[in-house]
Amino acid sequence: MKTLFVDTSYWVARSNRRDQWHQNARALGLQFSDASLLTSELVLVEYSTISVLLGLKCAGGWLLLLKKFWKILRFK
């Protein structure tokens, strides 16, 4: 199984239909549907902040998606 690091830009594009990269992010999600997604706590915080600023209603729902892949880098 592949592991891919996903940054804030992926999460924003994936969850925001109005984002110019939304279709690309969806396509990548399908292309790598068997991959394990890796992200960091910093990315989670950044995405949460941006989703509130953009008024995205899916901010809570995306955590359910993360649980499916749940590999988070923790910085100490």
Angle at 44 between CA 40 and CA 45, to 5 degrees: 115
Question: Which strands sit side by side in the sheet containing 3-5, from one edge to the other?
Answer: 3-5, 36-40, 71-73
Q: Compare 70 and 24 and report the one with higher pLDDT.
A: 24
Nearest to 7 by CA among 46, 60, 50: 46
Count the domains in the chain.
1
User: Would strands 36-40 and 71-73 be described as parallel, antiparallel, or unpaired?
Assistant: parallel
pLDDT of 75 over the 60 cut: no
pTM for this one?
0.71
Q: What is the pLDDT of residue 25?
A: 93
What residues make up the domain containing 28?
3-73
State pLDDT tens for residues 34-63: 888 888 878 888 888 888 788 776 555 666
